[in-house]
Amino acid sequence: MVLDGNTGFGQTIAAQAVALGVERATANGSCIVALRNSGHVGRVGAYAETAIAAGLISIHFVNVAKSPLVAPFGAVERRFSTAPFAIGLPLPERPVVLDFATSLVAEGKVQVASYGGRPLPQDALIGPDGVVSDDPHVLYGDYGPTEIRRAGGGDGAIRAFGEHKGSGLALMCEMLAGAFTAGGCAGPLDGPRKGITNGMLSIYLSPAHFGTQAEFERIAREYLGWVLDARPIDPGLPVLAPGDPESANRAARLADGVPLPVNTWNAIRNTATALGVAA
């Protein structure tokens, strides 16, 4: 299927696209959905979790049209969006969700650091002079404590993760989610960026239809257990599967609340006030 979101609210549009893909894959064994021109789809791993709940494997390539923020390996100029990638595996009682931006850090992490939250890795950003940095000003330029961050304000870029390997995966996310869907890649730019427009290519597979479900689950669970039993470098830090840190954080946040830096909360209050919403 090819779906056009008409730049509507992405977390509604993407959920509808996923529901259609899940429905067809459940009936037919597989489905490929090319979604273009969607507003911000949010956390891509959520859609992998939706597929897992239906017993499906899913693979998602995502990009942001006209939003170059990331420098390719060996470059200082922006050419990629943060281009997220996700895979979900429906293993009984132990599902696995891999979900990450192909940039060394997601732009949201740069925003958090700029508002006084967790600092960035020292090599997360790169300036036009080729010097790596952890200073959000490299990406945003000058800003006040509670001002909205503008990604085009600085002259630097986020670095791709994993050097040439992450850079190659980012390129493929742009090609599949941007070019193949016909929604557009991160550039070249022909005018100012207007909000966030995502493309997402999703592949859904039903193990039940392939006749390998029992063996898939047995072999995968056995192998995953073997991987996680590897002797850790630090005995106090066991080897984790993708999604384990997020699951632990989710449980902690549901129990104790979500911590926010003071400047982040003040920025939220300022936005609420500007929209006439009582804070």
- Residue 23 has what pLDDT? 98
Which pLDDT score, from 0 to 100, does residue 195 have? 80
Average pLDDT for 189-210: 90
pLDDT at position 110: 96
Alpha-carbon distance of 174 to 21, in angstroms, equals 21
Q: According to DSSP H, which parts of the chain are helical? A: 10-28, 45-53, 107-114, 137-140, 163-173, 207-210, 213-228, 244-256, 262-274
CA–CA gap between residue 29 and residue 213 (Å, rounded): 12
**Is residue 146's pLDDT more than 90?**
no
| Number of CB atoms found within 10 A of residue 249's CB | 11
pLDDT at 194: 73
- 221-269 pLDDT, tens digit per residue, is 999 999 999 999 999 999 999 999 999 999 999 999 999 888 889 989 9
- Reported as type and span, the H/E element at residue 2 is strand 2-4
pLDDT at residue 152 tops 80: no
Burial of 93 (0-12, 13-18, 19+ CB in 10 A): exposed
pLDDT grade for 36, boundaries at 50, 70 and 90: very high
Mean pLDDT, the chain, as a whole number? 95
The reported pTM is 0.92
DSSP code of 175? Answer: I
Distance CA 78, CA 126 (A): 10
pLDDT digits (tens, 9 = 90+) for 60-113: 999 999 999 999 999 999 999 999 999 999 999 999 999 999 999 999 999 999
Residue 53 has pLDDT above 80, yes or no: yes
Residue 151 has pLDDT above 90, yes or no: no
pLDDT of residue 102: 97
CATH architecture of 1-101+163-208: 2-Layer Sandwich (3.30)
Confidence of residue 121 (pLDDT cuts 50, 70, 90): very high
pLDDT score for 232: 97
pLDDT at 191: 72
How far is C-alpha 80 from the geometric centre of its chain's CA atoms?
Answer: 13
What pLDDT, on the 0 to 100 scale, is given for residue 48? 98
